[in-house]
Amino acid sequence: MGGNKTTEFSHLPLATNRPMECALTGSELLSCAYLNKGSAFTEKERDEFGLTGLLPSNVQSLEEQSKRAYSQFQSRSDNLAKNTFMTSLKEQNEVLYYKLLQDHLKEMFPIIYTPTEGEAISNYSSLFRRPEGVFLNVNEPQKVEQSLSGWGGPEDIDLIVVSDGEQILGIGDQGVGGILISIAKLAIYTLCAGIHPHRTIPVVLDTGTNNEDFLKDDLYLGLKQKRVRGEKYDKLVDTFIKTAKEKYPNAYIHFEDFGLPNARRILDEYTPKIACFNDDVQGTGCVTLAAIYAALKVAKLEMKDIRVLMYGAGTAGTGIADQIADAIAVESDKSREDALKQIWCVDKPGLLLQSMKDDLTPAQHPYARKDEEWKGKKTDSLLEIVKEVKPHILIGTSTKPKSFTEDIVKEMAKNTDRPIIFPLSNPTKLHEADPADLFKWTEGKCLMATGSPFDPVEYKGTKYVVAECNNSTTFPGIGLGAVLSRAKLMSPPLLVAATKALAAQAPALKDPNDGLLPDVINVRDISVKIAAAVIKKAKEEKLTQQEGIPDKDEELEKWIRAQMWDAEYRTLKKVEHHQATREAKGEAGPKGKKSKTQN
């Protein structure tokens, strides 16, 4: 991760170059994942913190530890075993966990995130060993206050990721196992944007499950009842948000993988009131639009002329469509109404039509086409719709694997020189098409990005990079910007600024066979650029609450980097328990539920 931790910035609220105060000793210290250094504790620390005799004699470096952990990782027989190994490592030594991830980012990202994390989530109750995060029970809203207590004082939490587990990745209702998506997204915030891992809370709202397998499973750990809807559900959400904001007023709230009936509704309700973000709607919208900007440059197309076909008009699909509509309107100086006409949405029953209005979600309504325009035409076949619409861009967020078939793709290629095709459904097995097939069917002409990672594809001697179009390149930087500026709201102009900052980093702008989006390997630098763009825009919009944000770009980037957490062992300063101070404010107080000492 490599810090830029000059003393110049030591005074900043989230600077991490000061010694950490530690009240723990002996085996308690070894059991605290956040402070534990294992074999890397120095002789002096071993004496000072009562560790003498509790560790083998050879003092090792973090690099040596990472090497050993990597060989242990490699010895695990399959990806799920590797995922559980990583979970255990995180519970033992958090710095080493992030160091190992950083040393092998490309290889390990798919293990701790999509696709393997999806498998871990569906096996949550059988793999369960110890709890992490906050579990809020829909039948006990009165306990929300107590459940959210003990994570520190009002200044100590920057970010909360919350899921209700209803629509996890593309694998549907995972009930209480949804806690793992909150945990995984937070790990990505730390890895990719240096969000301080001890200033965050993962939360799951346990509102029941409609997953019959879980309802029948004796080992299932969540509420064994059908999902609660309506007032009682809304009360839990509202109690959670109000309590979280009362206790931790700085906390930026990230919603993840809520079901279709709730995702957009909750976002619309709270966006004008608090700094919040729905990753599936907004994160996915931003990253996809950034990839489209790059693809249009390569294809020499302009926003004002494009025709876009969305396949799967759920949370992610309509989120993407909205971002594209806004971009068309702005870039082409059109009304939003005219911009909407350039986007066609298809869902289970086929093309969205105005006659379906009673069955459409509020987010789908604006995309419903006039029935007269489609009279006598087949609206329930993607192939026929492609023939009619002649799209330049085809995006899949349907969870229906292999639905972009050879005839559909070839039909699309008849009408546009460089078909832009993004199969985005996760995990990998749900992708609407396989990259190798798409290159074959379009003779290497398609411009592609996928929801989960793929190796580059070779077609007739040319190597094409397949960009990963996953919100993971975007949400960490947006969150970092929101946290550091203490943004009051996450307003649309901030998201536009983030999208443009990401789009400017696309490797395809230099080499058309390279990725439409930057590689995850560079994600920390990308996050800095995105955070800087978000902060600058927030300042312009008068949405910042943090003092002293530098104006000049270079200074701003330094200011951001100085407050990003790094996977490095920090000097420990011994204090008595009652004196343990908080990193952020220098105030007395225990760390709370994560450990018995400060961060």
Ligand X SMILES: NC(=O)C1=CN([C@@H]2O[C@H](COP(=O)(O)OP(=O)(O)OC[C@H]3O[C@@H](n4cnc5c(N)ncnc54)[C@H](O)[C@@H]3O)[C@@H](O)[C@H]2O)C=CC1
Query: Which residues contribute to the site for Mg ion (CB under 5 A)?
Result: 257, 280
Report, in Å, the least distance between residue 299 CB and ligand PYR.
Answer: 25
Nearer to ligand X among residue 21 and residue 279 (C-beta):
279
Write down the residue that tokens 């790990």 correspond to: 187
Report, in Å, the least distance between residue 474 CB and ligand PYR.
Answer: 10
Out of ligand X, Mg ion, ligand PYR, none, what residue 51 binds, judged by CB under 5 to 8 A for its kind, is none
Distance in angstroms (rounded) separating the CA atoms of residues 122 and 103:
28
In what helix (H) or strand (E) does residue 201 lie, and over which residues does it extend?
A: strand 200-206
Classify 58 as helix, strand or coil: coil
Q: Which of 158, 163, 344 is nearest to 251 (CA)?
A: 158
- Confirm whether 300 is a catalytic residue: no
Report, in Å, the least distance between residue 279 CB and Mg ion.
Answer: 5
- Residues annotated within the binding site for a divalent metal cation are 256-257, 280
Q: Give me the catalytic one of 37, 82, 98, 113.
A: 113
Nearer to ligand X among residue 89 and residue 424 (C-beta):
424
Q: Which residues bind ligand PYR (CB under 6 A)?
A: 114, 169, 257, 279-280, 426, 470-471
Overall size of the chain counted in residues: 599
* Percent helix / strand / coil, the chain, rounded to 5: 50, 10, 40
What is the DSSP pairing of strand 393-396 with strand 350-351? unpaired
Q: How far is CA 195 from CA 219, 228, 329, 398, 430, in A?
A: 34, 33, 34, 32, 30
Nearer to ligand PYR among residue 169 and residue 506 (C-beta):
169
Q: Which residues contact 580 (CB under 8 A, 6 or more apart)?
A: 21, 22, 23, 588, 589, 590, 591, 596, 597, 598
Tokens of 71: 């060989």
Report, in Å, the least distance between residue 169 CB and Mg ion.
Answer: 6
Q: For ligand PYR, which residue has the nearest CB? A: 426
Report, in Å, the least distance between residue 422 CB and ligand X.
Answer: 8
- Residues annotated within the binding site are 256-257, 280, 426, 470
CA 41 distance to own-chain centroid: 33
Nearer to ligand X among residue 16 and residue 167 (C-beta):
167
Nearer to ligand X among residue 223 and residue 260 (C-beta):
260
Nearer to Mg ion among residue 166 and residue 257 (C-beta):
257
Residue 297 neighbours by CB distance under 10 Å: 17
Report, in Å, the least distance between residue 399 CB and ligand X.
Answer: 4
Q: For ligand X, which residue has the nearest CB? A: 314
Out of Mg ion, ligand X, ligand PYR, none, what residue 400 binds, judged by CB under 5 to 8 A for its kind, is ligand X
Nearer to Mg ion among residue 169 and residue 303 (C-beta):
169
Nearer to ligand X among residue 153 and residue 261 (C-beta):
261
Out of ligand PYR, ligand X, Mg ion, none, what residue 518 binds, judged by CB under 5 to 8 A for its kind, is none
Nearer to ligand PYR among residue 164 and residue 280 (C-beta):
280
- Residues annotated within the binding site for (S)-malate are 426, 470
Q: Which residues bind ligand X (CB under 6 A)?
A: 167, 169-170, 260, 280, 284, 311-317, 346-348, 397-400, 424-426, 430, 451, 469-471
Please count the CA atoms within 13 angstroms of the CA of 574 that sit on its side-chain side: 10
Report, in Å, the least distance between residue 246 CB and ligand X.
Answer: 30
Classify 254 as helix, strand or coil: strand
- Confirm whether 70 is a catalytic residue: no
Q: Which of 386, 445, 454 is nearest to 426 (CA)?
A: 454
Q: Which residues contact 58 (CB under 8 A, 6 or more apart)?
A: 39
Tokens of 11: 């005074």
Q: Which of 413, 409, 314, 323 is nearest to 364 (CA)?
A: 314
Q: Which residues contact 342 (CB under 8 A, 6 or more apart)?
A: 306, 307, 308, 325, 328
Report, in Å, the least distance between residue 294 CB and ligand X.
Answer: 16
Distance in angstroms (rounded) separating the CA atoms of residues 86 and 83:
5
What is the DSSP pairing of strand 462-464 with strand 572-574? unpaired
Q: Which of 568, 573, 531, 574 is nearest to 553 (CA)?
A: 531
Distance in angstroms (rounded) separating the CA atoms of residues 45 and 31:
16
Distance in angstroms (rounded) separating the CA atoms of residues 376 and 374:
6
Q: Give me the catalytic one of 5, 99, 185, 529.
A: 185
Report, in Å, the least distance between residue 352 CB and ligand PYR.
Answer: 22
Out of ligand X, Mg ion, ligand PYR, none, what residue 507 binds, judged by CB under 5 to 8 A for its kind, is none
Q: Which residues contact 365 (CB under 8 A, 6 or more apart)?
A: 357
Out of Mg ion, ligand X, ligand PYR, none, what residue 595 binds, judged by CB under 5 to 8 A for its kind, is none
The pair phi, psi for residue 14, each rounded to 5°, is -105, 15
Out of ligand X, Mg ion, ligand PYR, none, what residue 475 binds, judged by CB under 5 to 8 A for its kind, is none
Q: Which residues are catalytic?
A: 113, 185
